[in-house]
Amino acid sequence: MPRSSPTIDLPKARQLTHSMNEGTQRERLPVLIFEEPAQIAYQVARRIANLVEERRAVGQHVVLGLPTGSTPIGVYQQLVYMHQNQGLDLSNVITFNLDEYYPISPDSLQSYHRFMRENFFDHVNIPDENIHIPRGDIPLEEVDAYCVTYELAIEKAGGIDLMLLGIGRSGHIGFNEPGSGMETRTRLVVLDEITRRDAASDFFGEENVPRHAITMGVGTILEAREIILLATGEHKAPIVRRAVEEEPTREVTASFLQLHRNATFYVDRAAASALTREETPWVVKEVDWDPAMTKRAVIWLSEKVGKAILRLEASDFFNNHLHSLANRYPSIDVLCREVFEDLRQRIIYPDYLFKKKRVIVFSPHPDDDVISMGGMLDKLVANKNEVLVAYMTNGSVAVFDADVRRYLQFMDMAMEVLGADPELMQKVHAQKDRLLKFLEKKGPGEVDLEEIQRLKAYIRYSEAVAGIEVMGLGPEHARFMDMPFYKTGRVRKSPVGPADIQKVLDLLNEVKPDHVFVAGDLSDPHGTHRMCYFAIREALKLYNQQSDPAEADESGKDKKGARKTKSAGGGVAKPQVWLYRGAWQEWEIARADVFIPLSKADLDRKIEAIFKHESQKDRAMFPGAYDTREFWQRAMDRNRNTADELNRLGLPEFFAAEAFVTTYDMP
């Protein structure tokens, strides 16, 4: 029996009243911000579990609308854990998935049927007859009737109680592309260019992505009694702001959730970063003018009015919501000089960079080191530091089959020159023919043979060594960690586990670094950077527990302020952590702790090192859907832009610059 329509309950009403005091008056529906995606996953899973248990207590079932993609995986993992370890009974749950590609076989690697079973359904006790996922393998002439049947099944179940959603880069929910109206129902749709580009890596090429999909309509979604939209990552920030703060429009179908009486966005801090209350909070509320907020505001004002910091006037502050900041200082000159000097002192020239220290550069993929911090790496070597570059994953899934064919052909030609005897040559020829036959018959996204995975890894490894050789390092300075979570042979990876963390911890214990460089760029398309970051963070927690508190304080310095590599008590001092970015975005000027200036020669050398990664040159397997430039172009543009921004603020004019955030405890 259908239940009554949703209404806002008193707790949510109180939450909305409270949020108005928190600067959210531009937000047209509730937005809950969490520090980490894991917190979102737990809270949403707990909400689902509570709903399931409440309904079970009164003998009712629960109808869930479920999405796919990387964002909801954490929710599914939490529910699986609750089922397997805390006794959560899901036998009274009925599910309806949002969408499916068309045409596609249910057992295809990219099928949402397979995704849901591998990540959720195979691990819980939801009855098979209660699971509904749109089929992508029905004849085209039957699709319209099938979609009507899907709608009737939802209605027969009593309607959807709780709908989970993600949000696409174009603002779509489900596969309701821009232009979809509120009246739409389950139907066959044509996927737009952005959506297909976003999916290209999963299908190993945009040409392999289906052009159609079956999706619930916006109208179907809005009839759910409760809606939770999940969004994580900085690349989602612009569209989250549009969906939340701008008028509902067909161009951003997620914006229609504003019209629902019980819809909430659950976002991490990165996805919320473009919201007014996060980006420019002084525009919508009173703020605590600590040094970090003051610097953000002055830099923002300088960029907005197009003046260098030291040329800002009182009227600039008073006309742009910053009167409360201006009134805290005896004069605008004092305020601006304070921020200017803060930024100036963050510019570190090579002579003032540390020397003769032990350094680990953690690189998630075999090219992130030179792409994101090639200039810094060059200067670390010049300053005679002991540098070890730890490549955490082998990057094999990002190598085209054509590269394997090329190298196999090279080996075939080189055997005689290398002095191979006829028997060995015959074995190599036979193995080469076997591998080439597999590649010839291989389908899009099919998992490679183990030998081919290893060959692709060796291609990336050889390129990585060639890249750091440009900086004066050699093979002995490269460590290929081959983290277990990555070794699936597929785009989708396993969760980071104890074995991954232990590998990092073993390396830390071996090297005992004074400085550790970590990728803080968490918006890579498939989360590898984020997973590597997590493994390093957890390993560093364990490593830092060995620190002797009597000898080293929280900053990792002794009482005289000198860096310590080992305490008298036998423990180790905390290494300083440098977070770098560059492959997908750069640190904002206000957030960066250190700027490393680069000359034209420095930048040219960095680009030369990036060029050594030939398998990623010209056309990378996974360039990221929202940036079509090659990686060397991104690195060049971002480093030049950082220098240009510093120049516009009135700081010294450099050809280029890299930015870093420094810390001792990774957030």
| Active-site residue list | 177
- Would you give the distance in Å from CA 75 to the centre of its chain? 17
Q: Which residue has the tokens 């081959």?
A: 482
Of 140, 138, 163, 181, give the one whose Cα is nearest residue 67.
163
Q: Judge contact between 48 and 79, C-beta under 8 A.
A: yes
Q: What is the spatial distance between Cα 123 and Cα 63, in angstroms, rounded to a whole number? A: 18
Sign of the CA dihedral with 540 first, then 545, 548, and 552 last: positive
103 preceded by a cis bond (ω within 30 of 0): yes
Q: 302-305: which pairs have CB atoms within 8 A and are 24 or more residues apart?
A: 302/648, 302/649, 302/650, 303/645, 303/648, 303/649
Q: What is the spatial distance between Cα 319 and Cα 295, in angstroms, rounded to a whole number? A: 18
Task: Look at strands 212-215 and 358-363 and give their pairing.
Answer: unpaired
8 φ/ψ angles, rounded to the nearest 5 degrees: -75, 125
**Could you tell me which residues are beta bridge partners of residue 263?**
227
Structure tokens at 406: 């090329």
H/E segment holding residue 439: helix 422-441
User: Can you give 251-312 as a three-state secondary structure string?
Assistant: CEHHHHHHHCCCEEEEEECCCCCCCHHHHCHHHCCCCCCCHHHHHHHHHHHHHHHCCCHHHC
**Could you tell me which residues are beta bridge partners of residue 594?**
660
Within 13 Å, how many C-alpha atoms sit on residue 578's CB side?
A: 25
Structure tokens at 253: 């179908």
Q: Judge contact between 387 and 377, C-beta under 8 A.
A: yes
Of 185, 178, 245, give the one whose Cα is nearest residue 221.
185
Residue type (1 letter), 138:
I
DSSP of 77-140: HHHHHHHHHH----TTEEEEE-EEEES--TTSTT-HHHHHHHHTGGGS---GGGEE---S-S-G
Structure tokens at 398: 């990002």
- The backbone region for 167, taken as left when phi is positive above 0, alpha when psi lies in -120 to 50, beta otherwise, is beta
Of 215, 97, 95, give the one whose Cα is nearest residue 157.
95
Number of helices (H) and strands (E), helices first, in the chain?
A: 21, 17
Of 71, 69, 260, 65, give the one whose Cα is nearest residue 164.
65
361 φ/ψ angles, rounded to the nearest 5 degrees: -105, 110
Q: What is the spatial distance between Cα 83 and Cα 614, in angstroms, rounded to a whole number? A: 47
The residues, any chain, with a CB within 8 Å of residue 311's CB and separated by 6 or more, are 650
235 φ/ψ angles, rounded to the nearest 5 degrees: -70, -15
Task: Look at strands 576-580 and 656-663 and give their pairing.
Answer: antiparallel
Q: 122-131: which pairs have CB atoms within 8 A and are 24 or more residues apart?
A: 123/80, 123/83, 123/84, 124/79, 124/80, 124/83, 124/90, 125/83, 125/89, 125/90, 125/91, 126/90, 126/91, 126/93, 126/95, 127/91, 130/61, 130/93, 130/94, 130/95, 131/95
Q: What is the spatial distance between Cα 523 and Cα 626, in angstroms, rounded to a whole number? A: 11
